[in-house]
Amino acid sequence: MKTDDVGARALLGPMLDETVPPSKVEVSRLVAAGRSRVRVRRWAGISGAGALTAVALIGGSLLVQPNQPPAAALQTATSTAPSPATGSRPAPPAFPTSCTGRLLPVPGKTISSYISGGDPSGRYLVGGYATDTSGHRPVLWDNGNPVIIPAPGGDLVAIEVNDRGIVAGTTDKIGNGTVEQINWVYRDGRVSPLGEPATKPGTFIQVIDINSGGDILLDSRPRTGVDPNRGPGIWTAAGQGTFRPLADPGNLGELTASALDEDGTVVGRYLVGQGFEGERTLVWKADGQLTKPSPPAGYGPGGALRLVRGGFAVGYYQQPGKQPHEVNTVRRDLRTGIDTAIPALAGAGAVNAHGWVAGLIRESGQGQTPAITTGTQLIKLPLPAGAIASSDGVGAYHLSDDGRTVAGNVAVNRDYLGAAVWRCLP
């Protein structure tokens, strides 16, 4: 991650899951050697006093470290405007009782690597690796074996993968005193540019997510004018690259999307003010309808959903009576409208189709520890060989639907992170 300049935004913006500003960033404001670009994973559950203290990292997502809420028990409430069910959910598998981790193999001379995400089966994982201090390049792990993606451009900005091994990503291109972002798709060993339909009113900024159908959620900005607002949309595979802008009533200011579900549901947010307290939840339903769900009972008004899978969305909401930046991790079932607090996790990095959540816990004297939970059951993930205890950037960023594969980032020394995978058994 870059902890320089793109200024305070490179420190505080990532905590809010904001994308890098529209292309054409001044080269003079680029990161100094030795630091990698801010890569923002849709991190949820940011909370706690001092949560705005940035952590300087090399490779990996920026994690904010909240305190635990006083309630140890699950808190449940019904939110408004549930989405209609789209079929019954399968019974969840048995929750793991043990997990064994290892560092993922990386190309020779790699000094830093990180996980950004994976597919629901756990076969495919994606992230970045760096062999020097100039930045990270994209890598796909197929059953644990690294495949270097020959993407154009330089430093990796964003990368996602679906269950067919199709990878969508964004990298930087530096030239003529500017930095532009290149969006691309990798499939069957080949990289292709993500074409921009002539009918689309904006220019793509960066990849946000991809689902099993190959639909890609992107951020975009206007082609003309000086309007700083940018709007998300979906590049549809079935439409051979047709771009479908997400509904925008025009009176909410900047809309930001965070995650795409298999049925086309998108979770995101809009802003009514500064900081966490200024965020409000948005959900674009599969039929394209835009909704503004109320905060969970007893929470809010600030907060937003950042992750979604199988109709389970995870995000954070303000703690009542606390400071504006003190928020708790909450899971919302979009089909029923039921909200469940997840007090065990200090932050969430992934949710699977059963609503299990992967993230981190904070332990006194031990830093951050990757963990997964159902909300009532929790297992801490042991450090793999070659990793050290740390509070900087450690956490779980992917959880397979069967709960048997977890991937995330661990510290390999005081300066760098390493990508890791855990295999879990019931």
CA dist., res. 238 & res. 273, Å (int):
37
Which has the closest alpha carbon to 103: 379, 388, 386, 399?
A: 386
CA dist., res. 215 & res. 212, Å (int):
7
Instruction: Calculate the average pLDDT of the chain.
Output: 78
CA dist., res. 369 & res. 199, Å (int):
47
CA dist., res. 149 & res. 128, Å (int):
10
- Is pLDDT at 29 greater than 90 in this prediction? no
- Is pLDDT at 110 greater than 50 in this prediction? yes
List phi, psi (to 5°) of 173. Answer: -130, 120
Q: Return the structure tokens found at 281.
A: 């939840």
pLDDT 10s digits, 261-306: 999 999 999 988 887 788 999 999 999 999 999 999 888 889 999 9
Q: What share of the chain is helix, strand, coil (3-state, %, to 5)?
A: 5, 40, 55
pLDDT 10s digits, 112-152: 999 999 999 999 999 999 999 889 999 999 999 999 999 99
Q: Return the structure tokens found at 46.
A: 């940011």
Find the angle CA(43)-CA(46)-CA(49) to the nearest 5 degrees: 155
Contact 209, 160 (CB under 8 A): yes
10 contacts: CB under 8 Å, gap ≥ 6: 2, 3, 4, 31, 38
pLDDT for residue 6: 23
- Is pLDDT at 366 greater than 90 in this prediction? no
Distances (CA, A) of 343 to 47, 64, 156, 316: 11, 15, 33, 11
Q: Which whole number is the average pLDDT over 70-94? A: 57
Contact 345, 331 (CB under 8 A): no
Beta strands in 45-151 (DSSP E): 76-78, 98-103, 112-118, 124-130, 137-142, 145-148
- Is pLDDT at 206 greater than 50 in this prediction? yes
Q: Which residues pair with 244 in a beta bridge?
A: 234
pLDDT 10s digits, 209-246: 999 999 999 987 655 454 444 578 898 887 766 788 88
Weakest-pLDDT range from 315-324, 328-337, 359-368: 315-324
Distances (CA, A) of 67 to 168, 317, 396: 34, 14, 18
C-alpha of 237 from chain center: 22
> How crowded is residue 375: how many other Cβ atoms within 10 Å of its Cβ?
17
pLDDT for residue 8: 23
User: 301: cis peptide before it, omega within 30°?
Assistant: yes
- Is pLDDT at 318 greater than 50 in this prediction? yes
pLDDT-based confidence at residue 175 (cuts at 50, 70, 90): confident
Rounded percentage of the chain residues whose pLDDT exceeds 70: 74
Q: Which residues pair with 256 in a beta bridge?
A: 269
CA dist., res. 350 & res. 118, Å (int):
10
Q: Is the pTM of this model over 0.85?
A: no
pLDDT-based confidence at residue 42 (cuts at 50, 70, 90): very low
- Is pLDDT at 379 greater than 70 in this prediction? yes
C-alpha of 177 from chain center: 30
- Is pLDDT at 338 greater than 80 in this prediction? yes
pLDDT for residue 115: 97
pLDDT for residue 245: 83
Contacts of 147-153 with CB under 8 Å at 24 or more apart are: 148/107, 149/186, 149/191, 150/191, 151/182, 151/184, 151/186, 151/191, 152/182, 152/184, 152/191, 152/193, 153/181, 153/182
Q: Return the structure tokens found at 76.
A: 């449940």
Contact 37, 31 (CB under 8 A): yes
Weakest-pLDDT range from 98-102, 272-276, 360-364: 272-276
